[in-house]
Chain A
């Protein structure tokens, strides 16, 4: 029965994505390739004195991303500081919202005013997601380009993503959420709970795979996510842009099969997490789960196991970071699956934009490895891949382990942060370790969700995690744009007939295995100490 329920939930979400895949994907492709500008857009370009016709090289594009993000960071930091936040927490929060991570060390409904929520955080919810999508589009253009160094204009992409994609979508979904019962008001208190402009925030929080909730309880809060219907809709909103961008990709590189191959890859990875996770939660051992019939601790009765695990898989598989259940209360092995989902590199299906560029990095490696196995020249979508591309992606796959493992080691080595970690752990032993591990993985991969229990709102950890989030955002973006620069000018391989078809299930299977092979091993020893030691306790 629960599995039937799970299948039904999955099918509903899949059907909704299937319906929207073509129209939304092609609409976005049009947005990024259309030549005209709206009047509003022209005003904005004039206001920020951008030249919309100017084409950026990869360095120019990266420079624009950097300067825009820096400006956003300074602005948000000022707003938060003005709002009364301490410097380390303001730094952490500002960085994490600019980086589309939304790691929340603070308790929003208590410590942030509506103004700061709407003018500060919501704005970043829009633009940080837009930046990820712009970077992804720049990479797509590079693959589609024919010996052109230009990747498009960042400012145009940014403005269009916000005005033409994110804004309309979030309005539509805000209304839908309102219909489901999400609150939208400026009343400090509705009965016993504080109210606020929740629905409008909620919709971009999910669509942009941001995850920073209006309430500390995030999507577990009845005002943010009142019913199973709103829950499914939120899952759909998380997955919508990451999946439909694949259509945009297929359309822009004029090869839909390439998009479908990635769609299949991401879906398989999604199921590889979702199914075991649901199994573990349904069959949780211990007294409480057995009495409840499943591991219901930390989950909302209205969502049940199925609604919770689906949401959890979606939020860890995108860089969402919103939660509708407390991940720390999952069974140990269930918690392991959530960490694995993030460790895979946020490609199941990954954040809006960031999922696509992350998976393309892995595709480049897979193409190289198959070329090695078959002794062929590595070619992807007609582009001949060279040593430069390989070097870039080889560095890219190291970023995540370096930041999370290295960051964790550093935090444990410095006496100051070490004391904070030990004090902050909500539990002793393996479970406490899992909390810390989850936090570092979540920060490094820019997810933003937390294994509840670990209090990281201390000066040292705020700063360190903030720095990790910063590097976890901009190091991959730099490499992806450098990769775009290399690919844009790369030799177009003459269509030599004997190439491995890269859209068949065979390659998809290969890609899925390779993604796991690349991502998971370095983390196994840590999983052994954390979730596995806990879960396999005799």
Chain B
């Protein structure tokens, strides 16, 4: 951090002295009121020149001024904590921004989906992102920024999302698929898209998250609100004490001076908790943002800490999503080379990665198989590629000599052979079934390749084993879930056997295949009834109810708008393993808060011993016994306790930003650990800290 940003953070902290800002943080507001009052008294004392006494002790000159300094410093450090957390987070997420208001946009007037889906002839008008309303249709061409969050209704284009994900670049967005969502501020790098605007600029997920994280309009989470109520109760009790103490003891003891009473109140009200609680929230938000996770509310982040079950919605989220050919299996007495070249030919018109992978594997295994180039050449000589169609569920090639090659699922090929007038031999069919089952059991998808040469009966040549490969790092992530005590479930519409195999390979605890969206919803309800807190990832429109039902719904950035709306969090780079980050950061946040609360309350116990005896020891010298820390003088004890608040906040701030390490454990041992590791230091640190400060203060003449 350079000098300039340090200055700006300090300035920001000073701006937060505004009582209107502190209004929502009653503890700090009370501290400020105390500081103001103390300053008035310091000034007036200087004017009237009376030596001030308190509870029978004569206070040294400069006591009130030193106290003023301590109180203002406490307040400054408290507001500074928040400013630092915000500044820290802002730098870390500086790559994130929403589309600026003046980004140009091409608004399509009178968009007609039926006649002119591509908006080639429709009237357009140049406008800016700031002017767009939900429901507007805009045209975005290569090189243009997408002006606001929306859904692709026509076209297929590659979109540069590095603005969002901070690294991973291009993503394909296509109308009519489940990857239709585009985010304002990203850039279309090729082709053109017609986009229907979903939300206004201000309401986009990103701008909401940034708003939330930058603190100004941060809503308080339920836990924070509960804590505030408790803290307010403590504040009132100590206020009451300060207001009534002098009156109540007036028959027997000399009054305590007002600055000393202020010091007592400010030291005993939980200033540290009040200042650092929001810091932990802000820091956690930014940590997630840095990992590409947008969080819709402070509450969601808190809930995330309690997650005990994670539901992944499809195999595609943990595999590369591209099935790849890994093996050819011949049937009957077919020569391997025949199968290889037939498979390659059948895949010629298959532009999908799996089609290409078949050709690649075939070329790799045998030199004689035709390459893509050769196939194209044959086509020019009269061959006709047959594209995959939903009705035939096959793709293939008709060669110039009348030979027909097909590849497809078992049932489709059997039907095709039948249609060609051939019934394959029974033992071939049996072998085919057995091999196909074997492939499926191992997590692969079996494809059958068949050929019908003119004049000869059609025959099944063999099978291709297509496998989905699990993404790198997924297993480690799933293991991490286990360490956190989180159960992983996969509930997927994919084939039962394949899903089970992939789940086993990725070490997922349980799997439910062939699931309908209703099944997903029911399963979440079941898990919740069994006492689990459920996080679920999803991206289809169908998933929206399940995402809403789950305690935490996590949508992928490319998800349908409905799914995104139903979710509490959005993962920008579409990598669902960020669920681990979400749970982990949520847990860390709660562990950090618990640590701060225990630590601060334990601090108070020591403060009772440093402050209270000092109040009346002048009138009742016997109370000196209670000065267990052997502090130099009452004045020094009070000033040291105030200064300690400043110091301890400085120590705790990095802890609040980084978070304390979280260790998975049952709640009972978590509580024990919290009380032991935070409570004991909470007693020792102030005892030592106040004593050390007291040594310094006692060097000031008069103290």
Cβ–Cβ < 8 Å partners of B589 in chain A: 375
Question: Is the pair A373, B226 in contact by a Cβ cutoff of 8 Å?
Answer: no
Main secondary structure of the interface of A (DSSP, over half): helix
Q: In the assembly, what is the distance between CA of A532 and CA of B249, in Å?
A: 14
Task: Tell yes or no: A353 within 8 A of B by CB.
Answer: no
Which of B533, B587, B601 touches A517 (beta carbons < 8 Å)?
B601
Which of B237, B251, B597, B621 touches A421 (beta carbons < 8 Å)?
B251
Give min CB distance, A426 to chain B, whole Å. Answer: 13
Question: Is the pair B252, A408 in contact by a Cβ cutoff of 8 Å?
Answer: no
The answer to whether A398 and B237 touch (CB under 8 A), given A372-B593, A433-B251, A528-B612, is yes
The answer to whether A368 and B230 touch (CB under 8 A), given A375-B587, A532-B623, is yes
Question: Is the pair B671, A374 in contact by a Cβ cutoff of 8 Å?
Answer: yes
Give min CB distance, A417 to chain B, whole Å. Answer: 11
Mask of B587-627 contacts with A, CB within 8 angstroms, 1/0: 10111011001100100110010001101100111110110
Q: Which residue of B lies closest to A370 (CB)?
A: B671
Mask of B354-389 contacts with A, CB within 8 angstroms, 1/0: 000000000000000000000000000000000000
Cβ–Cβ < 8 Å partners of B248 in chain A: 405, 408-409, 412, 437, 526
The count of chain B contact residues (Cβ–Cβ below 8 Å) is 67
Task: Tell yes or no: A34 within 8 A of B by CB.
Answer: no
Q: In the assembly, what is the distance between CA of A397 and CA of B306, in Å?
A: 29
Which of B232, B249, B666 touches A526 (beta carbons < 8 Å)?
B249
Cβ–Cβ < 8 Å partners of B532 in chain A: 496-497
Q: In the assembly, what is the distance between CA of A524 and CA of B250, in Å?
A: 16
Q: Which residue of A lies closest to B231 (CB)?
A: A394
Give min CB distance, A392 to chain B, whole Å. Answer: 10
Give min CB distance, A369 to chain B, whole Å. Answer: 7
Question: Is the pair A510, B675 in contact by a Cβ cutoff of 8 Å?
Answer: yes
Task: Tell yes or no: A291 within 8 A of B by CB.
Answer: no
Q: In the assembly, what is the distance between CA of A422 and CA of B671, in Å?
A: 50
Main secondary structure of the interface of B (DSSP, over half): helix
Q: In the assembly, what is the distance between CA of A239 and CA of B243, in Å?
A: 37
Cβ–Cβ < 8 Å partners of A340 in chain B: none
Task: Tell yes or no: B434 within 8 A of A by CB.
Answer: no
Which of B225, B591, B672 touches A387 (beta carbons < 8 Å)?
B225
Question: Is the pair B620, A533 in contact by a Cβ cutoff of 8 Å?
Answer: yes
The answer to whether A526 and B223 touch (CB under 8 A), given A397-B233, A510-B675, is no
Q: In the assembly, what is the distance between CA of A395 and CA of B533, in Å?
A: 32
Give the interface segment out of B326-334, B411-419, B470-478, B523-531: B523-531
Task: Tell yes or no: B46 within 8 A of A by CB.
Answer: no
Q: In the assembly, what is the distance between CA of A433 and CA of B313, in Å?
A: 71
Task: Tell yes or no: A406 within 8 A of B by CB.
Answer: yes
Task: Tell yes or no: B667 within 8 A of A by CB.
Answer: yes
Question: Is the pair B247, A504 in contact by a Cβ cutoff of 8 Å?
Answer: no
Q: In the assembly, what is the distance between CA of A218 and CA of B598, in Å?
A: 45
The answer to whether A529 and B240 touch (CB under 8 A), given A390-B229, A506-B672, is no
Q: In the assembly, what is the distance between CA of A430 and CA of B245, in Å?
A: 15
Q: In the assembly, what is the distance between CA of A409 and CA of B528, in Å?
A: 53
Residue of A372, A395, A504 with most partner-chain B CB within 10 A = A372
Interface positions, chain A 402-419, Cβ under 8 Å from B, are: 402, 405-406, 408-410, 412-413, 418
Q: In the assembly, what is the distance between CA of A230 and CA of B229, in Å?
A: 47
Mask of B84-113 contacts with A, CB within 8 angstroms, 1/0: 000000000000000000000000000000
Give min CB distance, B626 to chain A, whole Å. Answer: 7
Question: Is the pair A494, B230 in contact by a Cβ cutoff of 8 Å?
Answer: no
Interface positions, chain B 541-597, Cβ under 8 Å from A, are: 586-587, 589-591, 593-594, 597
Q: Which residue of B lies closest to A395 (CB)?
A: B233
Q: Which residue of B lies closest to A365 (CB)?
A: B230
Q: In the assembly, what is the distance between CA of A432 and CA of B251, in Å?
A: 9
Q: Which residue of A lies closest to B586 (CB)?
A: A375
Task: Tell yes or no: A495 within 8 A of B by CB.
Answer: yes
Cβ–Cβ < 8 Å partners of B302 in chain A: 375
Task: Tell yes or no: A377 within 8 A of B by CB.
Answer: yes
Question: Is the pair B668, A506 in contact by a Cβ cutoff of 8 Å?
Answer: yes
Q: In the assembly, what is the distance between CA of A102 and CA of B225, in Å?
A: 40
Q: In the assembly, what is the distance between CA of A397 and CA of B226, in Å?
A: 15
The answer to whether A409 and B247 touch (CB under 8 A), given A401-B241, A525-B612, is yes
Task: Tell yes or no: B236 within 8 A of A by CB.
Answer: yes
Which of A375, A398, A506, A529 touches B252 (beta carbons < 8 Å)?
A529
Q: A374-B674, A494-B528 are known contacts; what are 16 more A-B pairs with Cβ within 8 Å?
A: A368-B226, A371-B223, A372-B594, A372-B597, A376-B667, A387-B226, A394-B232, A395-B233, A398-B240, A405-B240, A430-B620, A494-B531, A497-B531, A510-B675, A522-B240, A538-B621
Interface pairs (7), CB distance under 8 Å:
A412-B247, A433-B251, A496-B528, A496-B531, A498-B667, A532-B622, A536-B620
Interface on A for B, CB 8 Å cutoff? 365, 368-378, 387, 390-391, 394-395, 397-398, 401-402, 405-406, 408-410, 412-413, 418, 421-422, 425, 429-430, 432-433, 436-437, 494-501, 504, 506, 510, 517, 521-522, 524-526, 528-529, 532-533, 535-538
Pairs A-B, 9 closest by C-beta atoms: A375-B590, A409-B244, A497-B531, A409-B247, A533-B620, A373-B594, A536-B622, A394-B233, A496-B531
